[in-house]
Every structure is written in C-alpha cells, then in structure tokens.
C-alpha cells in the first residue's frame, strides 16, 4: 500500500469532516470514496480505520461510513488538532490548547526542577540558549524546531508520563501558530529570557521559580492570542467516557 495515498486519503476526509463539509450524520460508501480519491479499497479501508480511531466516523453494516458529531472526536489527537487549526474554528482550538498548556506546563516545570535527570537539565539549558539565538536572528524554522524541543523536554522532564504524552499536542500548537502566521519572525527578548529562566530554574532545582517562569510564558501567550478567540463560543457538550 502506498503510504502517500493512505496519508492523502486520511487528510482529505479528516479535513473535510472537521471543517463541516461532511456534516454529522453524512453517510459515505467505500466504493464512492474509491472513485472520488482514485485509490484502492484497501487504502480506503485503512484510512477509515484511522478516522474511526479518532472518533470521526463509524462504520454501520449495510449502511456505510457515517460521520460522527464533534463530541465523539478525540480532541487530544494531534491530527484532529491540526485539522481544527486549519479551519474556521482556529481561535477556539487555540484557546483550548492555551488553557490546557497553562494548566499543565507550569506544574511540569515545577516537577522537572524537583525530579529531572541531570542530562535533561543540561539539554534544556542548551536548547534555551539556542532558542534565543534563533529568535534573535529571525530563523523561524530553526526557532520552531527548538521551541518544540524545549517544551517536549519540559513535559518529559516532569517524570509524569501523562504530561509527557501531551508532547504531540504542544508540537501541533506551536507548528500551527507558525504555519498560520501567528508567530513573530523575531520573538520578544522578554519571552526569550523567560524560556531561559525556566531552564535555569530547573537546572538549579528551584521548583517555585520554574513554575512562576513557565506561568509568565503562558500568561503572555494567552494575552497575545486572546483577540483571536474573543468571538468564538465555548463548547458545553456532554462527553461520553471512552
């Protein structure tokens, strides 16, 4: 099976579902998707299997492939996040992600200051310095790479495996903000320094300072972006246990 065909089928269907072009309750047939996407039945079957795992569709015997409501989607999956960031609901998705990060990352920084291994502390310091240099030079791709690395180290350094499993979500957030032009070419010196403050506090084992520096980053992030979600409604849907 061609990996590129498989990926294209998933992206095509996933983006259309999340954007609402294929609304809740819409039913698709495998043979129709074969014709539409110009792929084999096996590619369609594997793509549908991925979308089922994300909660976007369900297959019903003798009916077809039915689109499920947003309340059934897995909001933590990086693919769902990427598709939402690409659509009209970008502001609401950024708000949800920023609020999630503001609840988790300062605690992760505090835990990393208390528990992270020495090698990770050293690496975090090195990455924070490299981030400053890339930010000052306006090297956007390099800065994004380092920014993702920094926050991944922060989450994994907490020693909490559930925090560590948010790495993909944070990576999609940072990538989406960059791809959609929501990040400056030259980050502010203050923000760059706050990242170094987090790394230095974790290196020194100062849990309180690490948490406060991470808090400053998240408060600044929210203040920068909240204009983009002011008119976006919040969702108060009941969610079924998975």
The predicted model scores a pTM of 0.90
Residues 195, 158 share a domain? yes
Which residues are bridge partners to 64 per DSSP? 60
Domain span including residue 21? 3-72
pLDDT-based confidence at residue 1 (cuts at 50, 70, 90):
very low
- pLDDT digits over 51-79, tens only? 999 999 999 998 999 999 999 999 999 99
Q: How many CA atoms lie within 13 A of 168 on its CB side?
A: 11
The domain boundary, picked from 31, 46, 72, lies at 72
90, 180 Cβ separation under 8 angstroms: yes
Average pLDDT of the residues of the chain: 94
124 and 13 in a common domain:
no
Tell me how many domains the chain contains. Answer: 2
Q: Is residue 241 part of a domain?
A: no
Per-residue pLDDT at 2: 58
* 125 and 216 both lie in a single domain: yes
Residue 58 covered by a domain: yes
Residues 141 and 169 in one domain: yes
* SS3 state at 227: helix
Residue 239: inside a domain, yes or no? Answer: no
Please report, for the domain that includes residue 125, its CATH number: 1.20.120.530
E strand intervals along the chain: 27-28, 57-60, 64-67
Convert 77-116 to b/e letters by CB count within 10 Å (16 or more is b).
bbbbbbbbbbeebbbbbbbbbbebbbebbbbbbbbbbeeb
Q: Both 64 and 132 in a single domain?
A: no
Q: pLDDT tens across 170-190, in order?
A: 999 999 999 999 888 889 999
Residue 216 has pLDDT above 80, yes or no: yes
Asked whether residue 233 is domain-assigned, the answer is no
Span 99-108, mean pLDDT? 97
């Amino acid at each position: 099976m061609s990996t590129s065909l498989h990926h294209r089928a998933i992206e095509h269907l996933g983006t259309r579902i999340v954007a609402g072009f294929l609304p809740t309750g819409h039913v698709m047939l495998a043979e129709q998707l074969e014709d539409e996407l110009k792929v084999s039945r096996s590619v369609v079957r594997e793509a549908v299997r991925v979308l089922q795992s994300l909660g976007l569709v369900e297959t019903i015997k003798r009916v077809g492939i039915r689109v499920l409501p947003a309340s059934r989607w897995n909001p933590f999956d990086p693919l769902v996040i990427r598709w939402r960031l690409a659509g009209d609901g970008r502001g609401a998705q950024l708000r949800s992600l920023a609020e999630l990060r503001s609840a988790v990352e300062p605690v992760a920084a505090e835990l990393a200051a208390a528990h992270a291994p020495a090698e990770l502390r050293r690496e975090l310091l090195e990455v924070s310095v490299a981030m400053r240099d890339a930010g000052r030079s306006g090297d956007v791709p390099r800065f994004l790479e380092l920014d993702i690395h920094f926050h991944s180290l922060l989450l994994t350094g907490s020693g909490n495996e559930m925090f560590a499993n948010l790495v993909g979500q944070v990576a999609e957030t940072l990538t989406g903000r960059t791809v959609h032009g929501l990040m400056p070419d030259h980050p502010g010196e203050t923000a760059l320094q706050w990242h170094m403050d987090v790394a230095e506090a974790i290196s020194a084992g100062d849990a309180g300072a690490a948490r406060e520096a991470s808090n400053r980053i998240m408060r600044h992030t929210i203040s920068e972006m909240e204009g983009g979600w002011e008119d976006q409604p919040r969702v108060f849907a009941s969610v079924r246990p998975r």
